[in-house]
């Protein structure tokens, strides 16, 4: 079995070469789906390290983006051995950067992490109008809606989106998570979201709890 | 009345010029601009600085709402006076009495913004060193895929020529079109001189800054129970 701690560290170090070597070796050993999911978990823990190093100012935004790419690459390598279980998604989530805001780095990183956690992800992109969230929720009936934003005005847009979901009668059918720089506990309450987070790894954990 | 200014380094050139032009000599506490990346850390740092102050009646902030970084601040013995604006971009690009519409698809720069350790310029240099040119370009394509313009704001407080070659180079490396727009320091001058009218959040002593002080629409909704 692969050295999971070593893999976590290699992802945390953004050591692409090492990650690829370890994963390719692992895949060639014909592992079970269960083992493969443990490896996905180790990669995710590596992403948490990346987040911590960013917090400590050791990593730059470019490193975060690279980490997102690295995770996507890791999942691609693992796909053949995730096998049938891969198609059994643990849940559906609709995500997007809210109307008026174009920032999507954090949302994209969360998107790759939540996808790696086995969710079916519907990413609506940036500057997403409330009505677009509503339509997608009606169409795919996710368990979770994730809204992201960096500008303070994003909070207004998040509130409008929650209101639109309420008006459409679909608010109670979903859990809502908001993320991004301006979100706070107070804002979360006023917006009518279920939770808030400024940490992608933490957000993934919350979503996993919700669909357990 | 004793005044003290707490200011973001990001506005260093602009505040210094505003002080020069208004003859203001209030003491200034400069806060490293990297804090703006994380509003929670910014809030903690600002509160720490507020708590250190003695014998001050009014604390002036060369800040805006800054991603909610100023929400929750409180001074036990002083009044807090904060420009009612989103951030330093809207602060230097807005005009008195007019609603500011943020330019879309634009990444904003001034000299101070380029010089900060987490500036986009330093981001690029870091990526270039760590990942090489090809990958750095790819990361920046992802980072800036929704941006088309790099705007150098001419606030009049620094020599544009001193940083335009570097801005030009950055624009070329990141496939953005460099544009220059005139900014202004009227807001900072008004912060120094008053009058403290509706352009400012006035937060009385021993009261926490509330997001509604900044006039954001969603808080016009009835306050929910806490």
Q: What's the pLDDT tens digit per position in B140-159? A: 988 888 889 999 999 999 99
A165 lies within 8 A of chain B by CB: no
A57 lies within 8 A of chain B by CB: yes
pTM: 0.83
3 state SS for B81-99: EEECCCCHHHHHHCCCCCC
CATH class of A4-87: mainly alpha
Q: Which residues of A touch B211 (CB under 8 A)?
A: 155, 186-187
Reported confidence tier of residue A6, pLDDT bands at 50, 70, 90:
very high
CB B8 within 8 A of CB B36: yes
State the average pLDDT for chain B. 90
> How large is the average pLDDT for residues A73-97?
84
B32 lies within 8 A of chain A by CB: no
Three-class DSSP category at A99: coil
Q: pLDDT tens, A161-180?
A: 999 999 999 999 999 999 99
CB B211 within 8 A of CB B103: no
Q: Is the pLDDT of residue A95 over 90?
A: yes
Q: Please name the residue of chain B whose CA is at the shortest distance from the CA of residue A156.
A: B218
Please count the other Cβ atoms lying within 10 Å of the Cβ belonging to residue B224. Answer: 9
CB A199 within 8 A of CB A51: yes
Model pLDDT, residue B226:
30
Structural domain spans, chain A: 4-87, 91-210
How close A1 comes to chain B (CA, Å)? Answer: 30
How close A84 comes to chain B (CA, Å)? Answer: 32
Q: Is the pLDDT of residue A117 over 90?
A: no
**Chain B interface mutation, best of A107, A182, A185, highest count of B Cβ atoms under 10 Å:** A182
> How large is the average pLDDT for residues A28-36?
89
Reported confidence tier of residue B217, pLDDT bands at 50, 70, 90:
low
A102 lies within 8 A of chain B by CB: yes
Reported confidence tier of residue B221, pLDDT bands at 50, 70, 90:
very low
Q: Identify the residue whose tokens are 């590596």.
A: A46
CA nearest to B178, candidates B94, B107, B103: B107
> How large is the average pLDDT for residues B36-45?
90
Burial of B97 from C-beta contacts in 10 A (0-12 / 13-18 / 19+): exposed
**Chain A interface mutation, best of B128, B146, B208, B215, highest count of A Cβ atoms under 10 Å:** B146
Q: Which residues of A touch B72 (CB under 8 A)?
A: 184
Reported confidence tier of residue A17, pLDDT bands at 50, 70, 90:
very high
> How large is the average pLDDT for residues B39-53?
95
CA nearest to B139, candidates A63, A56, A40: A63
Q: Is the pLDDT of residue A128 over 50?
A: yes
Q: Is the pLDDT of residue A84 over 90?
A: no
CB A104 within 8 A of CB A96: no
| Helix, strand, coil percent values for chain B (each to nearest 5) | 45, 20, 40
Which A residues, 120 through 139, put their C-beta within 8 Å of a C-beta on chain B? 126
Q: pLDDT tens, B160-203?
A: 999 999 999 889 988 899 999 999 999 999 999 999 999 999 99
User: Cβ contact (<8 Å) for A182 and B39?
Assistant: yes
Q: Is the pLDDT of residue A196 over 50?
A: yes
Q: Is the pLDDT of residue A185 over 90?
A: no
| Helix, strand, coil percent values for chain A (each to nearest 5) | 60, 15, 25
How close A138 comes to chain B (CA, Å)? Answer: 25
Give the fold, CATH level 3, of A91-210. Rossmann fold (3.40.50)
Cis peptide before B195 (omega within 30 of 0): yes
Q: Which residues of A touch B105 (CB under 8 A)?
A: 102
Reported confidence tier of residue B220, pLDDT bands at 50, 70, 90:
very low
Q: Decide if the complex's ipTM is over 0.95.
A: no
Query: What's the CA angle centered on A45, arms A44 and A49, to 5 degrees?
Result: 115
Q: Is the pLDDT of residue B17 over 70?
A: yes
Q: Which residues of B touch A151 (CB under 8 A)?
A: 67, 86, 102
Q: pLDDT tens, B58-87?
A: 999 999 999 889 999 999 999 999 999 989
> How large is the average pLDDT for residues B81-107?
90
How close A177 comes to chain B (CA, Å)? Answer: 18
As beta bridge partners, residue A178 has A147, A196
User: Cβ contact (<8 Å) for B68 and A156?
Assistant: no
Q: Which of B124, B131, B214 has the CB atom closest to A66's CB atom?
A: B131
**Chain B interface mutation, best of A64, A152, A163, highest count of B Cβ atoms under 10 Å:** A152
């Amino acid at each position: 079995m692969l050295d999971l701690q070593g893999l976590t560290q290699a992802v945390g170090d953004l050591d692409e070469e090492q990650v690829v070597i370890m994963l390719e070796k692992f895949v060639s050993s014909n592992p079970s789906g269960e083992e493969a999911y443990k490896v996905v978990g180790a990669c995710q823990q590596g992403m948490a390290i990346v987040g911590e190093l960013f917090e400590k100012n050791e990593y730059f935004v470019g490193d975060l983006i690279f980490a997102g790419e690295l995770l996507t690459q890791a999942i691609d390598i693992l796909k053949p051995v995730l096998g049938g279980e891969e198609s059994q998604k643990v849940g559906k989530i609709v995500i997007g950067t809210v109307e008026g805001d174009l920032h999507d780095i954090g949302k994209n990183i969360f998107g790759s992490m939540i996808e790696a956690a086995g969710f079916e992800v519907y990413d609506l992109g940036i500057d997403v109008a409330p009505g677009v969230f509503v339509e997608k929720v009606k169409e795919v009936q996710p368990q979770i809606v994730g809204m992201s934003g960096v500008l303070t005005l994003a909070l207004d847009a998040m509130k409008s989106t929650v209101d639109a979901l309420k008006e459409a009668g679909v608010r109670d059918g979903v859990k809502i998570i908001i993320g991004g720089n301006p979100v706070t506990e107070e804002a979360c309450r006023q917006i009518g979201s279920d939770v808030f987070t400024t940490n992608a790894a933490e957000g993934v954990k919350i979503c996993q709890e919700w669909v357990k | 009345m004793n005044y003290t200014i707490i200011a973001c380094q990001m506005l260093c050139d602009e505040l210094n010029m505003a002080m020069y032009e208004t003859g203001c000599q209030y003491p200034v506490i400069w806060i490293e601009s990297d804090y703006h990346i994380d509003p929670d850390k910014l809030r903690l740092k600002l509160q720490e600085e507020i708590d250190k102050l003695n014998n001050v009646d009014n604390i002036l902030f060369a800040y805006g709402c800054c991603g909610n970084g100023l929400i929750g601040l409180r001074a036990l013995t002083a009044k807090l006076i904060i420009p009612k604006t989103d951030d330093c971009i809207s602060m230097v690009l807005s005009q008195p009495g007019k609603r500011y519409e943020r330019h879309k698809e634009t990444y904003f720069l001034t000299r101070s913004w380029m010089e900060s350790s987490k500036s986009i310029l330093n981001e690029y240099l870091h990526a270039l060193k760590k990942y090489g040119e090809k990958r750095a370009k790819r990361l920046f394509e992802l980072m800036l895929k929704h941006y088309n313009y790099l705007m150098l704001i001419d606030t009049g407080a620094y020599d544009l020529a001193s940083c335009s070659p570097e801005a030009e180079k950055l624009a070329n490396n990141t496939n953005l079109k460099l544009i220059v727009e005139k900014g202004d320091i009227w807001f900072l001058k008004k912060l120094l001189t008053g009058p403290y009218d509706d352009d400012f959040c006035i937060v009385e002593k021993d009261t926490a800054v509330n997001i509604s002080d900044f006039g954001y629409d969603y808080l016009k909704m009835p306050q929910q129970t806490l």
